[in-house]
Amino acid sequence: MPYVNVGRENSADINLYYEDHGSGTPVVLIHGYPLSGASWEKQVPVLLSAGHRVITYDRRGFGKSDQPATGYNYDTFAEDLRKLILHLHLRDFALVGFSMGGGEVARYIGEYGSRDVSKAVIIGGVPPYLLKAPDNPDGVDASVFEGIQKAITTDRYSFFTEFFKNFFNLDVLLGKRISEQAVQANWNVAVSASAVASLACVPTWHEDFRNDIARVDVPTLVIHGVADRIVPFQAAGEKTAKLIKGAQLLAIPEGPHAVAWTHADEVNPALISFLATGAARRASGSL
């Protein structure tokens, strides 16, 4: 299994697990909390069929990556992504981030610029700024995040059971767009994550990405479920699309947070079409 070293904690290396498949224009898929790169299983085959090189990886603390007790902040997450990109010598690549992964997309461009980044896609992402504040009245009250941290500390196994109810809007979509078995599989991945990471990531959800979003100068597609109960559409996706010049917005009316799974039939065609447009222009321009 391939790993990239991103640092050390005391006497141990910190290695991230990644998968690198196919050929063509690279697409880096960045997963959400509390899952792993395997959560892109409805997108990877479609992207490969469309002729892309597809890279997934597990964020530190999650999936098959190492589980250090440090580094759970977006500057480090972006640095980890940067080390993976340099390790693979990627050029002209697209960044696609779901939920927390949308934060990596924003912070990566905010910190390192858009050189070699061809496009950006943010799906149910946490940018631009989730925390309710005097200059962000549509945000989520701090007590919500505090309650989540308390629930994780008390019993993270029980917390994940409740979390996934709203992650997939199970009261509406169970048995229609997602099965009980798929929910269980996601729970299994979640509880295998580091207990430290499960808790430490929560405060990062309300990171202020407004300065990072202001630096996004590549073609951008924002996809967000209007019925998202985890990251509210009006506070996140809708605002992000307005703040990025020329960004396209796909609002999925009945979409929950995890639209890439429940509404893959809508997400995938939009994703493939968006990624193909620039590729077609580059190909015709090179003839």
Q: What secondary structure, in 3-state letters, does 111-141 show? A: HHCCCCEEEEEEECCCCCCCECECCECCCEC
Please choose, from the candidates 242, 245, 270, the residue with its C-alpha nearest in 3D space to the C-alpha of residue 123: 270
276-279 contacts: CB < 8 A, separation 24 or more?
A: 276/50, 277/219, 278/118, 278/119, 278/219, 279/25
Count CB neighbours of 113 within 10 A: 11
Cβ(204)–Cβ(100) below 8 Å = yes
H helices of 168-204, where?
170-173, 180-191, 195-200
Helix H or strand E encompassing 252: strand 248-252
Place of tokens 């589980």: 67
Active-site positions read: 99, 228, 257
Burial of 150 (0-12, 13-18, 19+ CB in 10 A): exposed
Q: What is d(CA 206, CA 193) in angstroms, rounded to the nearest whole number?
A: 21
Partnered with residue 20 across adjacent β-strands are 55
Rounded-to-5 percentages of helix, strand, coil across the chain: 45, 20, 35
Whether residue 34 contacts residue 170, with contact meaning beta carbons closer than 8 Å, is answered with: no
Encoded tokens for 110? 């905010």
